[in-house]
Amino acid sequence: MSHVIDPNRRRCLAMLGALPIAAGCTAQSGPLSRQRKLDDAARVVLLLPLSGNRAALGQQMAKAVWLVEDLAGLAGQTQIVDAGDTADMAARATRNAVAQGANIIVGPLFRDQTPAVVQAAGTAPVLSLSNDATLAASGAWVFGVTPAQSVDTVLRFAKDSGARRMAVLQTNGALGQRAVDAVTAGARNARVTALPVVPAATRPGQLAEALQRTGGGTLPDILYVPGTSATALKQAEAAVQTGVTTIGSLQWSGLDQPQLNRLDKACFTGPDPVRFNRLSAFFRAQLEEEMGVIAALAVDAVGLAHAAGGTSHLSHRTPYEGLLGDTRFERDRRCVRRLAILRIDGGDVLPVA
């Protein structure tokens, strides 16, 4: 298989954010517009925000999916549809896709669009890319990377490495609370004691004292840092200096090199280092830009959707080997994802588990 994209196709990828879209690219609806009727070989539709405030993110996700399909000689296998940034736009795009024969919907990305898409999809399964696992109650299969998935990865690492006491650095907001809840819920099965949270307001210079206090006089084995705010990263730097194993969430995958350098010897949950790095390097070489984990999420979801063949029996499938680790669905339509543990070492990122 050749690893060089056809020049016209490469031009489409590079110009995805431009208006109008170059002829020969496969997109439908919204400002990136070229109508194409679905056929029997392309019944998976990917809903992305190709317009609106998050258009740049949606376009990056589309580029990654098209790049992978080009490499596999399957250009145009997946129909990519503009879901905009409102529930009404996403529902309208879904109804149009189903009317043209789509039998499985991947997306949308946003939480507030998902219930409307599920309703509009009828009997077609919806793989939401949101990270809110509660959306399973709406009927969606929740494929986004949830706080619980990062926590489960850290707890598995703790159990395998013999760590027994784990604290969480409090992060304000819903995602932070979900991380704390996930540690509390999963600690017992991992044979880990969940210690009281380290307050978000703790100053970096007081971090060692706070860790001693939360550990009842001794340092915890692991400090989990779900956030990526400037304050949280400074606190994480201070935690590393205490000798506590400091582990960040998947959000750390988006840190730049200077930030990684400052967090030397810390760890974080991340994508499969071999699969992700291979595609990321090719993405960079072909398009001269970086491929983030959110783009990898779209690639994995589309791959799983095609493997499922549009059926509704996703919970009974064997694990799917993706860029973000092996995944499978539980019967309640929540995704279980085995992320990697990566360690920052001298500016490099190396796999640990």
- Domains in the chain, number: 2
- Expressed as residue numbers, the domain containing 195 is 147-270
Note whether 32 and 127 are same-domain residues: yes
Task: For residue 66, count CB atoms less than 10 angstroms from its CB and return exposed for 0-12, middle for 13-18, buried for 19 or more.
Answer: buried
The helix/strand/coil state of 102 is: coil
Q: In this structure, are 192 and 87 located in the same domain?
A: no
Q: Which of 240, 235, 168, 248 is nearest to 201 (CA)?
A: 235
Give the pLDDT of residue 6: 45
**Phi, psi (rounded to 5 degrees) for 275:** -65, -50
Judge if 259 and 157 occupy the same domain: yes
Q: Are residues 261 and 330 part of one domain?
A: no
DSSP H helices in 192-288: 207-214, 230-241, 257-262, 273-287
Give the domain CATH number at 109: 3.40.50.2300
Percent of the chain's residues with pLDDT above 70: 85
Tell me the two tokens of residue 39.
Answer: 């056929």
- The answer to whether residue 67 sits within a structural domain is yes
Whole-number pLDDT of residue 242: 96
Kindly report, residue by residue over 5-25, the tens digit of the pLDDT. 344 544 555 544 432 222 233
Q: Residue 132's Cα: distance from chain center in Å? A: 11
> What would the pLDDT profile of 234-285 be if each residue is shown by its tens digit?
999 999 999 999 999 999 999 999 999 999 999 999 999 999 999 999 999 9
The reply to whether 153 and 256 lie within a common domain is yes
Q: What is the pLDDT of residue 315?
A: 59
3-class secondary-structure state, position 342: strand
206 domain residue, yes or no:
yes
What does 283-320 look like in DSSP terms, one character per residue? HHHHHSS---HHHHHHHHHHHHHHHHTT-S-GGGSPPE
If you average pLDDT over every residue of the chain, what do you get?
86
pLDDT in tens, 39-82: 344 489 999 999 999 999 999 999 999 999 988 887 778 999 99
Calculate mean pLDDT across residues 180-198: 94
The answer as to whether 71 is a domain residue is: yes
d(CA 50, CA 291): 16
Q: Which of 238, 270, 302 is the last residue of a domain?
A: 270
Listed residues 237, 270, 303: the one ending a domain: 270
Assign 1 a pLDDT band (cuts: 50, 70, 90). very low
Residues 158, 228, single domain; the answer is yes
Within this chain, do residues 229 and 190 fall inside the same structural domain, yes or no?
Answer: yes
Same structural domain for residues 25 and 110? Answer: yes
Q: Verify that 80 and 119 share a domain, yes or no.
A: yes
What local confidence, expressed as pLDDT, does residue 217 receive?
Answer: 93
Question: What three-state secondary structure class fits 89?
Answer: helix
Cβ proximity of 94 and 73 under 8 Å: no
Q: Which of 32, 58, 2, 25 has its CA nearest to residue 286?
A: 2
Of 212, 242, 270, the last residue of a domain is 270
**Which residue blocks in the chain are alpha helix, DSSP H?**
7-14, 55-71, 87-99, 114-121, 147-161, 174-186, 207-214, 230-241, 257-262, 273-287, 293-308
Asked whether residue 350 is assigned to any structural domain, the reply reads no
- How many residues are there in the chain? 353
Give a yes or no: residue 343 inside a domain. Answer: no
Residues 45 and 95 in one domain: yes
Question: What are the tens digits of pLDDT across the range 134-167?
Answer: 999 999 999 999 999 999 999 999 999 999 999 9
Query: Are 13 and 130 in a shared domain?
Result: yes
Looking at the structure, tell me whether residues 29 and 83 fall in a common domain.
yes
